[in-house]
Chains A and B, each alone.
Chain A
Amino acid sequence: MEGLLAGDDAAIRALYRRFGRPVYTMGLRLLGSREAAEELTQDVFLTAWRKAARFDPQRGRLSTWLMTIAHNLAVDRLRRDTGVSRPHLVLVDQVPDRPAGDEEYVLIERDEALRALASLSDAEKRLIARAYFRGMTAREIAEADAIPLGTVKTRLRSALIKIRKSNELKEPS
């Protein structure tokens, strides 16, 4: 991170090698095309470089910070581009057989994410997927699924709390 603050090429490469794949994956899942995913990835790392000084390790992990930037940019774009095709969501898929280097880190993160998702009910999973990966607001989900807005909000909250608890279990702190 220090290198990123100094605009150091090696630091940017290291950050990309660690998070390039999940950022690109998020772009692909939310935006539905390789071109849009590549643009998003570039925008995310540029934004990270510009905002590097604001990253505060005491407020959260680097992965949280970077993936929040990625998600916010992706949702902004998704909601702006009205013609975007909504991708088919695949949360669980074949994992590459022989990960190497920083890919291992991504797979560990993925393992934790899947474990957290496994703690959710089917209804919670569905709502979380619609909000996080399709950029739908609680009101939009309520209208699409014909369920009360309050129920959607309650389920989103309970789902995030379960994920948080799952994270706490894996972090000995």
Chain B
Amino acid sequence: MNCPAVRDRLPEHALGVADLHDVHAIERHLAWCAACRKEARDLERAAATLAFAPAPAAPPRELEERIVAAVRRDHPSPPITKLGRRRGRRFGVVLVAAALMIAGLGAGAVLGRRDAPPADKPSTQAQQQDSAFERFRRIIQSAGPDTKAAVGLLTPSGKVPWRGAALVIVSPSGDDQVVVTVDGLPRARGPYRIAITDGHGHAVPVGVIRRLDKEGGAMKGRVIARDLTEYVRVVVTDAGGRTVLTGVLDPAPPTG
């Protein structure tokens, strides 16, 4: 779909009534066309104004408690593929850790450091990060006292809205585990390959991202039968072998 065709459909897209087939094509276009993306954001913002137009109606008082309880019960569990059921308990650890990354540590606390203005809310950021690391520490601790973990941000080399986070769990008694999340990647440049490398030119493949969600996001996890202690850099490359995201892993806070 070209720019005129997209712009013709943007009002319906902003109003949430575009044809589903069109929505996918529009969002693919918006992923790479900055001019149309700006137009779309402006129209979406205008449409969102309408949400406040109806006369306010009061929800029942107990709805707040129901919602807080529902959020507490909720455990986001984005799919990790090809890890296998027989890895049972360890798979669960990865899943929980990965969910934590998505919900609180990776894209929240860690990516939040980049998103939030650095100077105006230092205490809030620090509290947020402390809170996220504390939760993360408890999860890692639950996997065993000798389990170590490293986390890192994945960033692009240019000014593009791509980002990601990586988590490596190193266990002295079993397979190590890697979870990588990405966000904002353009579908047109996929499939994307993820590898983790050491300082001596050795690389271990983590996986291939063939499908992105509509916001260019995906998560990939893998159990790897080797010690990943020395593997400290994660690299995501596009179909042409060009690096789109990279980052260095830092040790997470001690689990003891």
Contact present for A67 and B48 (CB under 8 Å)? yes
Contact present for A131 and B51 (CB under 8 Å)? no
Q: Which A113-171 residues sit within 8 Å CB-CB of chain B?
A: 113-114, 116-117, 128, 131-133, 135-138, 153, 156-157, 160-161, 163-164, 166-167
- Judge whether A84 is part of the interface by a CB distance below 8 angstroms: no
Other-chain contact of A57, B18, B44, B46, B115 (Cβ < 8 Å): B115
| A118 CB to nearest chain B CB (Å) | 10
Complex Cα spacing A159 to B204, Å = 54
Instruction: Using known A-B contacts A24-B63, A135-B17, determine if residue A110 contacts B71 with beta carbons closer than 8 Å.
Output: no
Residues of B within 8 A of A138 (CB): 11-12, 17
Interface string of A13-29 (1 = CB under 8 A from B): 10011001110111011
Contact present for B50 and A132 (CB under 8 Å)? yes
Instruction: Using known A-B contacts A41-B63, A42-B66, A71-B16, determine if residue A25 contacts B56 with beta carbons closer than 8 Å.
Output: yes
Complex Cα spacing A60 to B53, Å = 19
Helix, strand, loop or mixed for chain A's interface?
A: helix
- Nearest residue in A to B132 (C-beta to C-beta)? A6
| B55 CB to nearest chain A CB (Å) | 3
Residues of A within 8 A of B44 (CB): 60, 64, 68
Contact present for B108 and A53 (CB under 8 Å)? yes
Instruction: Using known A-B contacts A53-B107, A164-B42, determine if residue A2 contacts B124 with beta carbons closer than 8 Å.
Output: yes
Interface string of A28-58 (1 = CB under 8 A from B): 1100001001100110011001101110111
- Nearest residue in B to A51 (C-beta to C-beta)? B215
Contact present for B49 and A112 (CB under 8 Å)? yes
Other-chain contact of A131, B17, B43, B131 (Cβ < 8 Å): B17
Complex Cα spacing A16 to B68, Å = 9
Interface size class on chain B is 35 or more
- Judge whether A83 is part of the interface by a CB distance below 8 angstroms: no
Contact present for B48 and A64 (CB under 8 Å)? yes
Contact present for A91 and B53 (CB under 8 Å)? yes
Complex Cα spacing A72 to B8, Å = 20
Contact present for A6 and B128 (CB under 8 Å)? yes
- Judge whether B191 is part of the interface by a CB distance below 8 angstroms: no
Complex Cα spacing A52 to B115, Å = 12
Residues of B within 8 A of A20 (CB): 59, 63-64, 67
Other-chain contact of A28, B10, B57, B68 (Cβ < 8 Å): B57
Complex Cα spacing A157 to B27, Å = 18
Contact present for B128 and A26 (CB under 8 Å)? no
Residues of B within 8 A of A135 (CB): 16-17
Q: Which B164-182 residues sit within 8 Å CB-CB of chain A?
A: none
Contact present for A167 and B11 (CB under 8 Å)? no
Quick one: which of A2, A59, A110, A156 has the most chain B CB within 10 A? A2
Q: Which residues of B contact A (CB under 8 A)?
A: 8, 10-12, 14-19, 41-60, 63-64, 66-68, 70-72, 74, 76, 102-104, 106-109, 111-112, 115-116, 124-125, 127-128, 131-132, 135, 161, 183, 215, 217
Q: Which residues of A contact B (CB under 8 A)?
A: 2-3, 5-9, 12-13, 16-17, 20-22, 24-26, 28-29, 34, 37-38, 41-42, 45-46, 49-50, 52-54, 56-61, 63-64, 67-68, 70-72, 75, 89-96, 103, 106-107, 109-110, 112-114, 116-117, 128, 131-133, 135-138, 153, 156-157, 160-161, 163-164, 166-167
23 cross-chain CB contacts under 8 A: A2-B127, A7-B72, A17-B64, A20-B64, A22-B56, A25-B55, A37-B59, A38-B66, A50-B76, A53-B102, A53-B103, A53-B108, A53-B112, A61-B45, A64-B48, A75-B16, A103-B56, A113-B52, A133-B54, A136-B17, A137-B19, A138-B17, A167-B45
9 cross-chain pairs, A with B, having the tightest CB-CB distances, nearest first: A93-B55, A53-B107, A5-B108, A67-B51, A24-B59, A109-B52, A163-B46, A64-B48, A2-B128
